[in-house]
Every structure is written in C-alpha cells, then in structure tokens.
C-alpha cells in the first residue's frame, strides 16, 4: 500500500534534504573521516530540527491568536447584523481554531505521558523483575480480556473496572493541570480522551451506576476544565450543542443511558444473525423472553425462580 505524506510532511522532508546538501557542500574537507562527518551532521540536524519545530509552533500560536480575535469581531458584527455569509465564515474560523488547538493539545498530552527510565543492564533487570512480580501477584479470581477485567462475581465488576479507571483519570488530570490548554482545548481533551474510555465500559459492562458516580465524574471534569477554580459557566450551558450556544461538553449519564438502550433495542427486534450475546441472554431468561422483561416489574422478576440472576 502506497502511503502519501501530507503537505506539511513534504515541506519538512524538503527542509531536511536542503540542510543536508548545504552541510555536505560546506564541509568537503579532504582527509576527514566519514564517521566524524556523520556525527557532526547529526548534531547539526538536531539543532535545525529544534529551530524548525519552534518556528512552526510559533506560527501556529500566532494563527490561533489571530483566529480568536477574528472570531470575537465576527461575533460582535453578527450580534448587530445577522447574516448567513458571516455565520458560515464564523463556522469556518471556529473549525480551523478547533483543529489547531486540538493538535497542540495532543502534543502536550503526548509529552506529559512520556516516562523516562535510567538505561543500563542492572536497571533493566530490576524493571523486568518488578513487572513479573506484578503479573504473578494478580488475583486468580479475575482475568482481563479486551481491556475488561472479568471477575468471578458479578458484584465485583464495578470495583475491578470503574474504580481503576477513575484513579487513572485522576492521575491524568493531575498531570494535565499545569499544561497551557485553553477552555476549548480542555473540553476537546475530555471528548477525545476521557469519554471513549468510559463509553467502552458502558457498552461492555451492563451494570447499574448510581447518580453519585456521575456527579463524581462531573466534579473531576469541572475541576480540570476550570483548572481548580470556580466555574464561570454552568455545566448545563457547556453541555449544549454549539448551535445552541454551548461547547458540546459530554453528558456522561446520557451516554450511559444510550449505551444500555442500544442493547435493549436488540430485545425488541428479531435478528436472524444477531450477536452471540443476544442468544446467550435469550437462553438465560427462559421460559420468559427478553421482550417480556421490559413489562415485568422488579418484584415479579425476583419472585420467578426460573429466571437467571444475571437478568
């Protein structure tokens, strides 16, 4: 498969090629060893790449400031003279601003995720030994499959999956707190990084989550978005769609309901080639049916001994 690099990659490749040609042209000293030329070239290119990256980053930041000021001016004009063309121009600037801020946010998150270890034979052995000890000390009453910790007891699924995820997100927010990210960038971080991790568990683990759980998530996200300060905009306004004056901040409880409602849609429709879990759930609730469970009350389900406890 042919991989075609994008325009900015071509610019970088041309820049490096030109610098290599200039360096070799200016350093044609007879009698100099190739090893010395190679080591000198690496040091020279390292400095050129650093300066190139700094120049590109500076241009992006200047463009972000220019777009932000243009958006503020357009908002003022739109409030006085609404126009379709101005609104389209406003959307185009907002899209470009989101792309640039998202790219900068991704770079900052990748930098904060890096971990440096000391190199050496002894240190490598110690780290390998610690990893082996960690694997051997894992409990035999659970195992991990496709990112889901499967336990021998249904009641332990929340503790084995959601609690570690909450601890991991707390650590991520703690590392990201000092990064120079704008309000839009922080909301995009929640949508790109935090929401998919929770949504995967919502879709794979059908357990009941209390309202306090989602209040805790909202509290952590609010502290991250406002960088530990008091919120200046209500959460309900931030969760509105952009067309309605919000910033599309995810509502995790709505995503939880949607993930469960998606599974229940299979109960009300007859699929010939449905997923395997649907046939397993059909067998587990016999002699009743999955469609009939929707009209049963909780007391009726508990009184029937033939219905599985999983349902």
CB 259 within 8 A of CB 207: no
pLDDT number for residue 56: 85
- Work out the burial of residue 138: count CB atoms within 10 Å of its CB; fewer than 13 is exposed, 13-18 middle, 19 or more buried: exposed
* Helical ranges in 177-251 per DSSP H: 183-189, 195-204, 211-225, 235-238
d(CA 2, CA 290): 49
- Alpha-carbon distances, residue 137 vs 73, 142, 155, 160 (angstroms): 60, 12, 22, 15
Q: What angle do CA 189, 195, 192 make, to 5 degrees?
A: 35
pLDDT number for residue 270: 61
Instruction: State the number of CA atoms in the 13 A half-sphere of 1 facing the CB.
Output: 2
pTM over 0.85: no
CB 245 within 8 A of CB 214: no
Residue carrying the six token digits 């599985």: 308
Strands (E), the chain: 142-145, 148-151
Kindly give the confidence (pLDDT) of every residue in the chain, 311 residues in length, as a single tens digit, with 9 standing for 90 and above: 334 445 667 888 888 888 888 888 887 777 777 788 888 888 888 888 888 888 888 888 888 888 888 888 888 888 888 888 888 888 888 888 888 877 777 776 666 555 444 344 455 556 656 656 665 555 567 778 788 888 888 888 888 889 999 999 999 898 888 888 888 888 888 988 899 999 999 988 888 898 999 999 999 999 999 988 888 888 888 888 888 888 889 999 999 999 888 877 777 776 556 677 777 777 777 666 666 666 665 554 444 444 444 43
d(CA 103, CA 6): 15
Rounded to the nearest 10 degrees, how much is the dihedral formed by the CA atoms of 218, 212, 281, 309? 160
Q: What angle do CA 116, 119, 122 make, to 5 degrees?
A: 125
How do the domains of the chain map onto residue ranges? 7-101, 140-259, 271-311
CB 100 within 8 A of CB 67: yes
CB 220 within 8 A of CB 173: yes
């Amino acid at each position: 498969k042919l991989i075609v690099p994008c325009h900015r990659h071509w610019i970088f490749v041309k820049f490096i090629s030109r610098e290599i040609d200039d360096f070799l042209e200016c350093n044609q000293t007879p009698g100099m060893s190739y090893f010395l030329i190679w080591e000198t070239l690496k040091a020279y290119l390292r400095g050129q790449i650093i300066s190139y990256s700094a120049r590109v980053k500076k241009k992006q930041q200047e463009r972000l400031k220019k777009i932000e000021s243009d958006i503020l001016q357009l908002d003022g004009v739109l409030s006085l003279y609404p126009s379709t063309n101005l609104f389209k121009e406003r959307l185009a600037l907002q899209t470009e601003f989101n792309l640039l801020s998202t790219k900068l946010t991704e770079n900052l998150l990748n930098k904060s995720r890096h971990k440096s270890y000391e190199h050496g034979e002894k240190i490598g052995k110690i780290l390998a030994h610690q990893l082996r000890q960690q694997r051997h000390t894992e409990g035999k009453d659970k195992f991990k499959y496709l990112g889901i910790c499967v336990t021998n007891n249904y009641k332990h699924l929340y503790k084995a999956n959601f609690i570690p995820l909450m601890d991991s997100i707390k650590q991520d927010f703690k590392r990201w707190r000092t990064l120079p990210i704008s309000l839009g960038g922080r909301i995009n971080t929640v949508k790109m990084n935090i929401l998919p991790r929770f949504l995967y568990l919502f879709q794979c683990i059908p357990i009941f989550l209390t309202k306090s759980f989602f209040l805790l998530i909202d509290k952590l996200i609010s502290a991250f978005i406002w960088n530990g300060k008091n919120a200046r905009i209500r959460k309900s306004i931030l969760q509105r769609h952009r067309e309605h004056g919000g910033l599309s901040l995810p509502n995790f409880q709505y995503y939880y309901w949607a993930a469960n409602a998606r599974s229940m849609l299979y109960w009300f429709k007859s699929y010939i080639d449905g997923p395997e879990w649907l046939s397993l759930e059909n067998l587990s609730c016999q002699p009743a049916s999955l469609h009939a469970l929707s009209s049963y009350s909780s007391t009726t389900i508990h009184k029937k001994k033939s219905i599985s406890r999983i349902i």
